[in-house]
Structure 1
Amino acid sequence: MAFTRPAGKHRAPNRLTRRTATVAGVATLATAGVIGTLASPAMADDVKAPSAQEVSLERTILVGDSVADRIAAQAVAQQYEAEQAAAKAEARAKAVAKAKAEAKVKARAEAAAKAKAGRERAARDAERKRLNAYVAPVTGSYVSTGYRTGGNLWSSGSHTGIDFHAASGTPVHAVGAGTVVEAGWGGAYGNNVVIKMNDGTYTQYGHLSSIGVSVGQSVTSDQQIALSGATGNVTGPHLHFEARTSPDYGSDIDPVAYLRSHGVNV
């Protein structure tokens, strides 16, 4: 006799099928004379109680089924746990990769911002140095008449500034940053410009042929403010330059020492 059953993954034959197959096998053994003690000829047609051997076989089958079921369930549980662990590991890996990518983007942004801030700071420093720097009033010139030089050319009896050699029309520059407080005719100084410097001192530029700034105007270091000339009390074209502690005549200080104190060698 043949017994059939549906096939299933991770599933042993059910108890009824296995028991039926076993009993059939026992019956076959009895017919062949292998198990002769299972039934007597007189009771062949009657229902008989199972023997001890049958009971033992059935118990073995039941135990085997229980163990197989547990093993199958355990296998399914282990597979589920493995799949869950793999899913969690994949999620962690994705999270780590995302965090690394975001960290790289953030680091690049911070580096770019830092570089930009550095460039802006350098530009501000350069501009501040430029504004605070001092230059000679006439580029490439030299002092032709020194400070406190005596003679009847000056009403005070001595030179209150220094003269820079300069042909008429030579550009004249502000020696530093400040605000124009006088721009026009200055008597013996001819056309002149007076600037209140940012450090509180004053500088004067005299005998100009033309003026390019006006009172109240802010100027920067090295900015052209006029052209040299020979206006006022002069014997020839040049630039008269004074440094003062106030805008008033008579508060003059040594212009060479003043320029040198600001890094300008004349």
Structure 2
Amino acid sequence: MAFTRAAGKHRRPSQTAVRTGANIAGITTVASGVVAGIAGPALAATGETPSPQDTGLSQAMVIGDSLSGQIDAQAQAQESAAEAAAAKAKAEAVARQEAARKADAAAKKAKAEREAKERAAREEERKRLNTFVSPVDGSSVSTGYQASSGLWSSGSHTGIDFSASTGTEVQSVGMGEVVEAGWGGSYGNNVVIKMNDGTYTQYGHLSSIGVSVGEKVTPGQQIGLSGATGNVTGPHLHFEARTTAEYGSDMDPLSYLRSHGVNL
């Protein structure tokens, strides 16, 4: 009995189909990123070395290496830029801190110097205000205290006279307040000052008066000009030191001035 074979059912796969499947497998492997050479079954069976054209691996590997290098270079450049920016920011912060420290130190130094100058100025002013001076610069005593003469109603001189021509500047011997400024009878035009230490000083025979009652005066301040008003024989300055503003409370004016540091 003769058997017949169904046409095409058990036909051996053709060589072409096998090669096509191998090529497809190779392409799929490369596309998935696996860097390895997979030869098609037909080439492996024959022992032939597959060519790059058959596998497509060479081109894929070259492209992959180039892209990876670019990414690494870019990442390294970004990292370097970030490090440089951080270093610059740190240096700027340090510079700002140093500048602030120097500015603070300079401000403290300037403040200390200013305060020292102010203290020195206050001390100098305090000394000046507590200093006594001669009522007439460069003059000398022409008539002493308690000198006897019929020229004075008390019979003796209640003050001292300083040589001074008419118009010579007369100054307060110290700091005080004017309590009298005007005509004083035999003293002519006169000024009486209550000093800060509670004593009083008088300046007589002035040709003019430059202060008024209630005015504060300082050592060396001009209060008038010398002259020959009142009971006099010639121009000079009559100066008295008193314990009160009234006549008769006089004390030795030369000793008074010397006790306050005036060299006469």
Matches of 2:162 and 2:176 in 1, distance apart?
Answer: 21
| TM-score normalised over the length of structure 2 | 0.68
The letter for the 2-side match of 1:24 is A
Q: 1:31 to 1:146 in 2, by over 3 A?
A: farther
Matches of 2:167 and 2:184 in 1, distance apart?
Answer: 19
The letter for the 1-side match of 2:259 is S
Q: 1:26 to 1:119 in 2, by over 3 A?
A: farther
In structure 1, the residue corresponding to 2:90 is in which secondary structure? Answer: helix
The letter for the 2-side match of 1:22 is G
In structure 1, the residue corresponding to 2:34 is in which secondary structure? Answer: helix
Alignment correspondent of 1:216: 214
Deviations 1:176-207 (A, max 9, x none): 12111011121222221100112221100011
Deviations 1:132-151 (A, max 9, x none): 32211111100111122233
The letter for the 1-side match of 2:224 is A
Matches of 1:27 and 1:143 in 2, distance apart?
Answer: 145
5 Å matches for 1:1-266?
16-18=32-34, 21-24=36-39, 31-32=46-47, 87-266=85-264
User: Larger deviation: 82-91 or 251-260?
Assistant: 82-91
| TM-score normalised over the length of structure 1 | 0.68
In structure 2, the residue corresponding to 1:18 is in which secondary structure? Answer: coil
In structure 2, the residue corresponding to 1:204 is in which secondary structure? Answer: strand
| Number of residue pairs the alignment of both structures matches | 219
Q: 1:85 to 1:26 in 2, by over 3 A?
A: farther
Give the superposition deviation at 1:30.
Answer: 6.5
The letter for the 1-side match of 2:251 is I
Q: 1:15 to 1:159 in 2, by over 3 A?
A: farther
What is the percent sequence identity of the aligned residues? 63
Deviations 1:23-45 (A, max 9, x none): 339986764489xxxxxxxxxxx
Matches of 2:243 and 2:210 in 1, distance apart?
Answer: 24
Give the superposition deviation at 1:108.
Answer: 2.9
Structure 2 runs not aligned, ≥5 long: 1-22, 50-72
In structure 2, the residue corresponding to 1:248 is in which secondary structure? Answer: coil
Matches of 1:157 and 1:25 in 2, distance apart?
Answer: 154
Q: 1:17 to 1:193 in 2, by over 3 A?
A: closer
Give the superposition deviation at 1:81.
Answer: 7.7
When the two chains are superposed, the root-mean-square deviation of aligned CA atoms in Å is: 3.6
Structure 1 runs not aligned, ≥5 long: 5-12, 35-74
Matches of 2:48 and 2:237 in 1, distance apart?
Answer: 145
In structure 2, the residue corresponding to 1:140 is in which secondary structure? Answer: coil
Matches of 2:43 and 2:145 in 1, distance apart?
Answer: 142
